[in-house]
A and B are shown apart, each in its own frame.
Chain A
Amino acid sequence: MVKAVAGRAMEPVLQVENINKHFGAVHALRNASLAVWPGEVVALIGDNGAGKSTLVNVLTGVLRPDSGTMIFAGERVSFSSPQEARAAGIETVYQDLAIAPHLDAVANIFLGRELTMPGLAGHLGFLDNGKMRRETEEQLTRLRVRIPKLGRRLVTLSGGQRQGVAVARAVMWASKIVFMDEPTAALGVAQTEMVLDLIREVRNTGIPVVFISHNMPNVFEVADRIVVLRLGEVVAELDPRTASIDDAVLAMTGARRRDARGEGAVVG
Chain B
Amino acid sequence: MASTQTPVAPSLEAEPKPTLGQRLSNAFTLLILLAIVIIFTLLQRTTFLSIGNLNNVLIDTSQLLLLTIGVTFVIITAGIDLSISSILILSAVVAAKVMIQFSGTPEQVAAYSFPNQAMAIPIGLALGVLTGIVCGLVNGLLVTRLNMPSFIVTLGTLGVFLGIAQLLTGGTTVAGVPPAIQQDIGLRDLFPWPLFGADFRLIPPMIIAFVLTVAAAVLLNFTRFGRYTYAIGSNMAAARRVGIDVNRHLLKVYALSGFFAGVAGTFDLMRFGTASVGSHQSDNLAAISAAVIGGTSLFGGLGTIGGSVIGAFIPATLRNGLVISGVPAFWQNVAVGVVLILAVYIDQRRRSAEERM
A92 to B237, CA, bound (A): 14
B355 near A99 with CB under 8 A, answer no
**In the complex, per-residue mask of A193-233: 1 if CB is within 8 Å of any chain B CB, else 0:** 11001100000000000000000000000000000000000
B231 near A111 with CB under 8 A, answer yes
A127 near B238 with CB under 8 A, answer no
- Contacts of B1-27 to chain A: CB distance below 8 A: 1, 3-6, 8-13, 15-17, 19
A131 to B275, CA, bound (A): 49
B239 near A111 with CB under 8 A, answer yes
> For residue B6, which residue of chain A has the nearest CB?
A144
The verdict on A107 contacting chain B, using a C-beta distance below 8 Å, is: yes
A160 near B243 with CB under 8 A, answer no
Query: Contacts of B231 on A, CB cut-off 8 Å?
Result: 100, 103, 107, 111
A147 near B238 with CB under 8 A, answer no
A-B contacts at CB below 8 angstroms, number: 121
> For residue A194, which residue of chain B has the nearest CB?
B10
Q: Given A111-B231, A155-B355, A157-B16: A99 and B238 within 8 A (CB)? A: yes
A11 to chain B, nearest CB (A): 28
> For residue A114, which residue of chain B has the nearest CB?
B224
A83 to B302, CA, bound (A): 27
How many positions in chain A have a CB within 8 Å of any CB in the partner chain?
Answer: 48
- Contacts of A89-120 to chain B: CB distance below 8 A: 92, 94, 96, 98-103, 107, 111-114, 116
The verdict on B301 contacting chain A, using a C-beta distance below 8 Å, is: yes
How many positions in chain B have a CB within 8 Å of any CB in the partner chain?
Answer: 38
- Contacts of A147-193 to chain B: CB distance below 8 A: 147-150, 152, 155-161, 190-191, 193
A147 near B4 with CB under 8 A, answer yes
A112 to B8, CA, bound (A): 31
> For residue A136, which residue of chain B has the nearest CB?
B4
A82 to chain B, nearest CB (A): 7
A193 near B10 with CB under 8 A, answer yes
The verdict on B311 contacting chain A, using a C-beta distance below 8 Å, is: no
Q: Given A144-B6, A152-B19, A160-B13: A111 and B244 within 8 A (CB)? A: yes
Query: Contacts of A124 on B, CB cut-off 8 Å?
Result: 223
A159 to B354, CA, bound (A): 14
The verdict on B145 contacting chain A, using a C-beta distance below 8 Å, is: no
B227 near A107 with CB under 8 A, answer yes
The verdict on B111 contacting chain A, using a C-beta distance below 8 Å, is: no
> For residue B218, which residue of chain A has the nearest CB?
A126
A120 to chain B, nearest CB (A): 13
Query: Contacts of A94 on B, CB cut-off 8 Å?
Result: 241
B242 near A113 with CB under 8 A, answer yes
**In the complex, per-residue mask of B231-267: 1 if CB is within 8 Å of any chain A CB, else 0:** 1011101110111100000000000000000000000
> For residue B7, which residue of chain A has the nearest CB?
A146
The verdict on A29 contacting chain B, using a C-beta distance below 8 Å, is: no
A126 near B10 with CB under 8 A, answer no
**In the complex, per-residue mask of A38-77: 1 if CB is within 8 Å of any chain B CB, else 0:** 0000000000000000000000000000000000000000
B102 to chain A, nearest CB (A): 33
A148 near B16 with CB under 8 A, answer yes
B10 near A100 with CB under 8 A, answer no
The verdict on A21 contacting chain B, using a C-beta distance below 8 Å, is: no
Query: Contacts of A96 on B, CB cut-off 8 Å?
Result: 237
B302 near A102 with CB under 8 A, answer yes
The verdict on A140 contacting chain B, using a C-beta distance below 8 Å, is: yes
Q: Given A146-B4, A156-B19: A98 and B235 within 8 A (CB)? A: yes
Query: Contacts of B233 on A, CB cut-off 8 Å?
Result: 102
B225 near A125 with CB under 8 A, answer yes
The verdict on A80 contacting chain B, using a C-beta distance below 8 Å, is: no
Query: Contacts of B161 on A, CB cut-off 8 Å?
Result: none
The verdict on B222 contacting chain A, using a C-beta distance below 8 Å, is: yes
A161 to B14, CA, bound (A): 11
B243 near A146 with CB under 8 A, answer no
**In the complex, per-residue mask of B313-335: 1 if CB is within 8 Å of any chain A CB, else 0:** 00000000000000000000000
Query: Contacts of A116 on B, CB cut-off 8 Å?
Result: 224
> For residue B224, which residue of chain A has the nearest CB?
A125
A233 to B13, CA, bound (A): 39
> For residue A140, which residue of chain B has the nearest CB?
B4
> For residue B4, which residue of chain A has the nearest CB?
A140
A193 near B12 with CB under 8 A, answer yes
Query: Contacts of A82 on B, CB cut-off 8 Å?
Result: 241, 243
A103 near B234 with CB under 8 A, answer yes
A83 to B245, CA, bound (A): 11
Query: Contacts of B234 on A, CB cut-off 8 Å?
Result: 100-103
- Contacts of B319-357 to chain A: CB distance below 8 A: 354-355, 357
A113 to B19, CA, bound (A): 27
**Lowest 10 A-B CB distances belong to which pairs?**
A146-B9, A112-B242, A102-B301, A100-B234, A102-B234, A190-B12, A146-B11, A125-B223, A125-B224, A98-B238
Given contacts A98-B241, A127-B224, list 19 more A-B pairs with CB under 8 A. A83-B243, A86-B243, A100-B234, A100-B238, A102-B233, A107-B227, A107-B230, A111-B242, A112-B244, A137-B3, A138-B3, A144-B9, A147-B11, A158-B16, A161-B13, A193-B10, A194-B10, A194-B11, A194-B12
A-B contact pairs, 12 of them (CB 8 A): A107-B227, A111-B227, A111-B231, A112-B244, A126-B223, A127-B227, A137-B1, A141-B6, A145-B9, A148-B16, A156-B354, A190-B12
